[in-house]
């Protein structure tokens, strides 16, 4: 989707310092992707208390067995 927007130059300059983006288009696309991913993670947090975890589930054991392979 093509659009024209006015951006805060100071904010854009700072954003470039934190990213490897080489163009404003690339920077804006990266920012939008991160924005969407952040909100998706928040949606997952809404499941707290609604998901049952097995009593015998041992994440530490699973984590160490993967590292040994």
Give the pLDDT confidence of 27-40 residue by residue, as tens digits. 999 999 999 998 88
For residue 2, tell me if it sits in a domain. Answer: no
- pLDDT tens digit string along 22-69? 999 999 999 999 999 988 887 777 888 888 888 888 888 878 765 555
Phi/psi region, residue 6 (left: phi>0; alpha: psi -120 to 50; beta: rest), is beta
For residue 40, tell me if it sits in a domain. Answer: yes
The pTM (predicted TM-score) of the whole model is: 0.60
- Give pLDDT, residue 66: 54
Place of tokens 């696309």: 29
- Give pLDDT, residue 69: 52
- The domain in which residue 33 lies consists of 9-68
For residue 54, tell me if it sits in a domain. Answer: yes
For residue 1, tell me if it sits in a domain. Answer: no
For residue 4, tell me if it sits in a domain. Answer: no
């Amino acid at each position: 989707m093509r659009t024209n927007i006015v951006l805060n130059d100071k904010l854009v300059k700072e954003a470039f310092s934190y990213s490897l983006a080489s163009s404003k288009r690339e920077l804006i696309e990266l920012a939008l992707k991160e924005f969407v991913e952040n909100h998706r993670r928040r949606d997952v947090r809404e499941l707290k208390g609604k998901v049952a975890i097995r009593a015998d589930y041992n994440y530490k054991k699973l984590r160490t067995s993967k590292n040994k392979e």
